[in-house]
Amino acid sequence: MVETITKKFEEVYGDAKGVKVFFAPGRVNLIGEHTDYNGGHVFPCALTIGTYGVARERQDRKLRFYSMNFSHLGIIESSLDDLEPHKEAGWTNYPKGVMWAFEKRGFQIPRGMDILLNGNIPNGSGLSSSASIEVLTGYILRAFFGFEVSNQDLALIGQYSENNFNGVNCGIMDQFAIAMGKKEHAIFLDTADLSYVYAPVKLEGAKIVIACSNKKRGLGDSKYNERRSECETALAELQQVVDIKGLGDLSEEQFEEYKSAIKDPVRVRRAKHAVYENQRTIKAVEALKANNIVQFGQMMNASHVSLRDDYEVTGIELDTLVEEAWKVEGVIGSRMTGAGFGGCTVSLVKDEAIDTFIKQVGEAYCAKIGYNADFYVVEVGDGPCEL
């Protein structure tokens, strides 16, 4: 890959003098969905697929971006003096947003750059191609200009830029999982205070299989922000009767005791998901530590049911993928992952069942939905690096 993208850089920009090559992974969340902005726990891991970047400094303030994934757009030019979101800037609003966020933190970027990206994360799949680009950009800026920021800072800067530059009210999980990824480990992260532990993901005789629904979704214009505000309102109502900072502070029993404070039945269901999913995540990680992969799979299945019925973010595409997965012998667990409304499912599948799983689920999906899903057998990878 390094040779391919360096060669492409040379082709696009005329030469490849002074370039450095980088990689930032994508991520998948194994369990703990829509808990990250509710002060709960999440359990994501970095993947071996992600975004590759080639970059070099310029001697002026010009920024030039090129993506091999959107090669038809050619080079998109901008400048360090124009770090504003523009609709016509397309995907380059992500790296520009990170540059803007660095400057907001007092890190002045002295010179422009030529940057080329190539991602092997399916676009719009919910495996965090945007967060991967954000962390990669931060890593590139640190490598070239010597900014004193930790990988955890890179995650926070990426989230800040996505919230405030790109207008997507995302939680910290995506950027954190990518910036802090560790091979063969998932990150048990408490989003309330960013405390975390690495938990080994030892899937002897099984693999993670991602099924991409190929239903495109835009987070900013989906119901993501609506769900978030429903939870914020429910939290405010609960805070009238119990001293909590986030929905993740409640146990299931406490939620049942206090839920009558929430004035709307829809908000009750939304809050119930946030509370119960957080507790499920805690139990799932305990199960994994005890090497009880079957129990972990059951928690994944229960997570999907809650996302379908209480949080209502699945939709026919994701439900079909998961319900068909549950029918296949050798599937340990399956659920939607990411924001929902399209995107992907994540399944733990025994090695000997993978081919059957892809064939059976793929055929049933196409018959019902009318177009194909794509399948990716992935492994748990490391965080960002210079190659």
Q: What domains appear along the chain, each with residue ranges and CATH number?
A: 2-200 (3.30.230.10), 206-378 (3.30.70.890)
What pLDDT, on the 0 to 100 scale, is given for residue 126?
A: 67
- Residues of the chain with pLDDT > 70, as a percent, come to 97
What pLDDT, on the 0 to 100 scale, is given for residue 125?
A: 64
Q: Is the pLDDT of residue 320 over 70?
A: yes
150: three-class secondary structure by DSSP: coil
Residue pair 313/339 in contact (Cβ under 8 Å)? The answer is: yes
Candidates 36, 174, 249, 310; catalytic one = 174
- What is the dihedral angle through the alpha carbons of 53, 211, 290, 272, rounded to the nearest 10 degrees? 100
Q: Is the pLDDT of residue 168 over 90?
A: no
Residue pair 348/385 in contact (Cβ under 8 Å)? The answer is: no
Q: Which residues contact 113 (CB under 8 A, 6 or more apart)?
A: 55, 56, 57, 58, 63, 64, 140, 144
Each residue of 265-313: pLDDT tens digit?
A: 999 999 999 999 999 999 999 999 998 999 999 999 999 999 999 999 9
What pLDDT, on the 0 to 100 scale, is given for residue 220?
A: 45
- Other beta carbons less than 10 A from residue 112's beta carbon: 20
Each residue of 121-152: pLDDT tens digit?
A: 876 666 778 999 999 999 999 999 999 999 99
- Other beta carbons less than 10 A from residue 87's beta carbon: 6
174 is catalytic: yes
How far apart CA 197 and CA 185 sit, in angstroms, is: 10
Q: List strands edge to edge, sheet with 344-350.
A: 331-337, 344-350, 206-212, 374-378
- Other beta carbons less than 10 A from residue 118's beta carbon: 18
How far apart CA 219 and CA 339 sit, in angstroms, is: 7
Instruction: Give the residue from 135, 116, 124 showing the smallest Cα distance to 54.
Output: 116
Q: Which of 76-85, 197-206, 230-239 has the lowest mean pLDDT?
A: 197-206
How far apart CA 288 and CA 297 sit, in angstroms, is: 10
**Distance, C-alpha 176 to centroid of its chain:** 9
Instruction: Give the residue from 317, 38, 346, 349 showing the smallest Cα distance to 171.
Output: 38
Using a cut of 0.85, tell me whether the model's pTM lies above it.
yes
Across the chain, mean pLDDT equals 94
Q: Is the pLDDT of residue 221 over 60?
A: no
How far apart CA 179 and CA 176 sit, in angstroms, is: 5
Residue pair 116/64 in contact (Cβ under 8 Å)? The answer is: no
Q: 199 is written with which tokens?
A: 């938990």
- In one-letter notation, the amino acid at residue 94 is Y
Each residue of 20-74: pLDDT tens digit?
A: 999 999 999 999 999 989 999 999 999 999 999 999 999 999 999 999 999 999 9
Q: 40 is written with which tokens?
A: 């709960």
Mean pLDDT value across residues 363-386:
95
Q: List the alpha helices (DSSP H) in 49-172.
A: 93-104, 129-145, 151-164
Instruction: Give the residue from 203, 224, 215, 218 showing the smallest Cα distance to 347.
Output: 203
| Residue 205 zone, left/alpha/beta (φ > 0; ψ -120 to 50; rest) | left
Residue pair 64/79 in contact (Cβ under 8 Å)? The answer is: no
Sign of CA dihedral 310, 311, 313, 314: negative
Which pLDDT band holds residue 362 (cuts at 50, 70, 90)?
very high
Q: List the alpha helices (DSSP H) in the chain.
A: 2-13, 93-104, 129-145, 151-164, 173-179, 224-238, 252-258, 265-289, 293-309, 315-326, 354-369
Burial of 128 (0-12, 13-18, 19+ CB in 10 A): buried
Backbone angles phi, psi at 21, to 5 degrees: -120, 135
- Residue labelled with tokens 């429910």: 234
Strand partners, 54: 21, 116
What pLDDT, on the 0 to 100 scale, is given for residue 90?
A: 92
